[in-house]
Amino acid sequence: MTVENIHVSLGERSYDIKIGAGNLGTLGALCREAGLSGTAAVVSNTTVAPLYWERVRGSLQEAGFRPVLISLPDGESYKNSRTLDLIYDGLMDAGLDRGSFIVALGGGVIGDMAGFAAASYLRGIPFVQVPTTLLSQVDSSVGGKTGINHPKGKNMIGAFYQPRAVLIDVTTLETLPEREFLCGIGEIIKYGVVLDAGFFAFLEEKGELLLRRDREALIHAVSRACAIKARVVETDEREGGLRAVLNYGHTLGHAVETLTGYTRYLHGEAVAIGMVQAALISEKFGFCSREDGERITALIKRLGLPTALPDFPPAAYVEALSHDKKVRENGLLFICNQGIGDHRMERVNDLNALLEICRIGE
């Protein structure tokens, strides 16, 4: 069985990402290798725990840990301080001390919340990420952004806190609903568009294999995406510059989510729409050829993701984009693709002109 290893080099906060197929049972050994000990509090939810807790428990037990499960309700609407309290309750009930650790078993919601619990409980205990959605495997489990939502904004409370290890078993994706799977495909395409032309070409060639969830193709794509994200995080851990490139497609994607009340599109679908618009804008600004723009749109469409902005007046998009005070005062920092495989950030003041370039409701 192929197991890829991606090292994230951040001095004393460095860690490994192990990517394989059917390697969930090696979690206990990986935690040992990472120098962990004591009780392993596995934070998961009512969807994922019934599928994978038994295997995780067995592996941790075999390696000499004391596994306990903290199972939370499932959904982004639970990514809040009340659910965080449930995690703290579970940690205290299990008597977790500084010599113990947390395992996040689930998608990005679980990873972000469990990571923030680890960053804050007893002023910080170690944690390990076991992401089980494609989006969390290629994005949220790597790089140490943790947190919860606040009624006044998404991901407003949080910390940069790196995991001690990440274990990715691509066979866990076999139980993932199709729409959730496609959201991860969108984030994978993003890495190719703004950071790696060779990876984009691989996706053009092997896209359908990925859609069939071919294990070897998934290991390759997830490893490459993690390697790209690792290099970005190593260069700019706290998002002072380069890391913002990972927000490609997110600016208009967020506007779509806001205007549709977070119900019509999943986050990854909204980002896919945002990426198509970003490619159109990049072409108009002269940063990429028409052919490059068309390749980006064609791949997103071919792999089953939406491409057009939902039918709201341009002024509604402008309003959604200018919500942020910083944007109103200094203009919008918009992430463009430079050809395919590179990027540039552009300060945009005229949001009306930006919306004229976009494709609404087609």
> Which residues contribute to the site for ligand NAD (CB under 6 A)?
45, 47-48, 51, 74, 76, 79, 106-110, 112, 132-133, 135-136, 139-140, 143, 145, 155, 172, 175-176, 180, 183
- Indicate the residue among 133 and 337 with the shorter CB distance to ligand NAD: 133
Residue 243 binds: one of ligand NAD, ligand GLY, none (C-beta under 5 to 8 A by kind): ligand GLY
Find the angle CA(350)-CA(256)-CA(339) to the nearest 5 degrees: 60
- As measured in angstroms, the least distance from the Cβ of 243 to ligand GLY is 5
- Indicate the residue among 117 and 246 with the shorter CB distance to ligand GLY: 246
- As measured in angstroms, the least distance from the Cβ of 228 to ligand NAD is 14
- As measured in angstroms, the least distance from the Cβ of 360 to ligand GLY is 26
Residue 192, both tokens: 């190719």
- Indicate the residue among 112 and 292 with the shorter CB distance to ligand GLY: 112
Which residues are tagged catalytic?
123, 145, 187, 229, 239, 243, 247, 250, 254, 267
- Find out whether 91 and 58 touch, Cβ atoms under 8 Å: no
Per-residue contact flags (x/-) with ligand GLY for residues 143 to 172, judged by CB under 6 A: x-x---------------------------
- Indicate the residue among 81 and 235 with the shorter CB distance to ligand GLY: 235
- Find out whether 63 and 28 touch, Cβ atoms under 8 Å: yes
- Indicate the residue among 169 and 237 with the shorter CB distance to ligand GLY: 237
Using rule CB under 6 A, residue 79 touches ligand GLY: no
Q: Which are the contacts of 320, defined by CB distance < 8 A and separation ≥ 6?
A: 254, 255, 258, 259
- Indicate the residue among 239 and 319 with the shorter CB distance to ligand GLY: 239
Give the separation between CA 287 and CA 37, rounded to whole angstroms.
51
DSSP for residue 351: H
Q: How far is CA 340 from the centre of its chain?
A: 21
361: left (phi over 0), alpha (psi -120 to 50) or beta: left
How many angstroms separate the Cα of 195 from the Cα of each of 97, 125, 188, 271, 283?
41, 33, 11, 17, 17
Q: b vs e for 106-143, b when ≥16 Cβ sit within 10 Å of the residue's Cβ?
A: bbbbbbbbbbbbbbbbeeebbbbbbbbbbbbbbbbbbb
Q: Which are the contacts of 134, defined by CB distance < 8 A and separation ≥ 6?
A: 173, 176, 180, 181, 183, 184, 185, 187, 188, 222
Residue 8 binds: one of ligand GLY, ligand NAD, none (C-beta under 5 to 8 A by kind): none
- Sign of the Cα pseudo-torsion (191, 193, 197, 199, in order): positive
- As measured in angstroms, the least distance from the Cβ of 154 to ligand NAD is 6
Give the separation between CA 114 and CA 42, rounded to whole angstroms.
9
Residue 74 binds: one of ligand NAD, ligand GLY, none (C-beta under 5 to 8 A by kind): ligand NAD
Q: Taking contact as CB under 6 A, which single stretch among the options 58-66, 137-145, 192-200, 265-273 is the one that binds ligand GLY?
A: 137-145
Give the separation between CA 36 and CA 30, rounded to whole angstroms.
9
Using rule CB under 6 A, residue 139 touches ligand GLY: yes
Using rule CB under 6 A, residue 112 touches ligand GLY: no
- Indicate the residue among 190 and 295 with the shorter CB distance to ligand NAD: 190
Q: Taking contact as CB under 6 A, which single stretch among the options 38-46, 167-175, 238-246, 292-300 is the one that binds ligand GLY?
A: 238-246
- As measured in angstroms, the least distance from the Cβ of 350 to ligand NAD is 29
Length, in residues, of the chain: 362
- The single residue among 206, 213, 231, 243 that binds ligand GLY, judged by CB under 6 A, is 243
Bridge-partner residues for 101, per DSSP?
A: 40
Using rule CB under 6 A, residue 246 touches ligand GLY: yes
Contacting residues toward ligand GLY, per CB under 6 A = 139, 143, 145, 239, 243, 246
